[in-house]
Amino acid sequence: MAELRTEEEQLDAIKRWWKENGTALIAGVAIAIAAVVGWNAWQSYQENQAQAASMRYQHLVNLTAEAELDATRVSEAQALVAEITDSHSRTLYADLARLIDARLAVSQGELGQARDTLESLIDASRRDYIQGLARLRLARLQLEEGSAEAALDTLSGAIPSSLAAQQADVRGDAHLALGREDEARQAWQDALTYAEQRNQPVYGVQLKLEALGIEEATL
């Protein structure tokens, strides 16, 4: 009888505990399940978004692959850029789409729009390499507009060391545009040095040096 009473007391204790804590326990389990389901859903959503961004960007690349684009293709490409930047604004694809958008603007003679796009990308991107590319393209655009000093200012901003050869190359162009042949020569020699250190070619630099009377430079 003592054992029976003990079992009954234990059962009563369990019932009392469940009455006091059961609701909270069920709620906790439900929250945990919801969190797992929600996390999996979020992961799936992110994967789907990344795939969609990749497909749209690849379509944009294919669409703009031709050297010359008619008005229809340009309009379609610009609409696709807007779609990528609106729907996937924080992705690498959005940054790359903006670079293409600037190139399209240049091809259409809309240099001001291209400049605005590149400046916005430099300010907004969280990726150092993309910022560096945008600075280089902006500097080349400023040179095309006849603003060599502005180009030098742009090149003085943060540009990754992996782009040092290209940076020195454009700096040389800017110095030459300002009539500073010695500075241009040094910048182009630096470009060749950086290119050799990183085993990456910089096209046309040797010819620029030769045009200044340098018969041979080390690459």
**pLDDT at 5 exceeding the cut of 90:** no
Question: In this predicted structure, what is the pLDDT of residue 49?
Answer: 60
* pLDDT tens readout for residues 164-201: 999 999 999 999 999 999 999 999 999 999 999 988 88
User: From the centroid of its chain, how far is CA 21?
Assistant: 51
* pLDDT tens readout for residues 105-130: 998 889 999 999 999 999 999 999 99
Question: In this predicted structure, what is the pLDDT of residue 136?
Answer: 96
Q: State residue 20 phi and psi, 5-degree precision.
A: -80, -30
User: Which alpha helices (DSSP H) does 108-180 contain, by range?
Assistant: 111-124, 128-144, 148-155, 164-177
Q: How many domains does the chain have?
A: 1
Instruction: Tell whether 164 is covered by a domain.
Output: no
CA distances from 178 to 5, 13, 68, 146, 173 (A): 102, 91, 32, 10, 9
- Tell me which residue of 177, 162, 88, 107 sits closest to 132, measured CA to CA: 162
**pLDDT at 135 exceeding the cut of 60:** yes
**pLDDT winner (highest mean) among 34-43, 110-119, 198-207:** 110-119
**pLDDT at 28 exceeding the cut of 90:** no
Instruction: Tell whether 26 is covered by a domain.
Output: yes
Question: In this predicted structure, what is the pLDDT of residue 25?
Answer: 56
What b-and-e string marks burial along 163-175, b requiring 16 or more CB atoms within 10 Å of the CB? Answer: bbbbbbbbbbbbb
Instruction: Tell whether 32 is covered by a domain.
Output: yes
Instruction: Tell whether 3 is covered by a domain.
Output: no
Question: In this predicted structure, what is the pLDDT of residue 8?
Answer: 64
d(CA 146, CA 151) in angstroms, rounded, equals 9
**pLDDT at 2 exceeding the cut of 50:** no
* Containing structural domain, residue 27: 17-126
What b-and-e string marks burial along 4-35, b requiring 16 or more CB atoms within 10 Å of the CB? Answer: eeeeeeeeeeeeeeeeeeeeeeeeeeeeeeee
Mean pLDDT of 192-215: 87
Dihedral (C-alpha) 24, 28, 29, 34: value to the nearest 10 degrees?
Answer: 140
**pLDDT at 217 exceeding the cut of 50:** no
Instruction: Give percent of the chain with pLDDT exceeding 70.
Output: 74
Instruction: Tell whether 90 is covered by a domain.
Output: yes
Instruction: Tell whether 112 is covered by a domain.
Output: yes
SS3 for 16-80, per residue?
A: HHHHHHHHHHHHHHHHHHHHHHHHHHHHHHHHHHHHHHHHHHHHHHHHCCCCCCCHHHHHHHHHH
Instruction: Tell whether 131 is covered by a domain.
Output: no
Instruction: Tell whether 31 is covered by a domain.
Output: yes
Question: In this predicted structure, what is the pLDDT of residue 104?
Answer: 92
Instruction: Give percent of the chain with pLDDT exceeding 90.
Output: 51
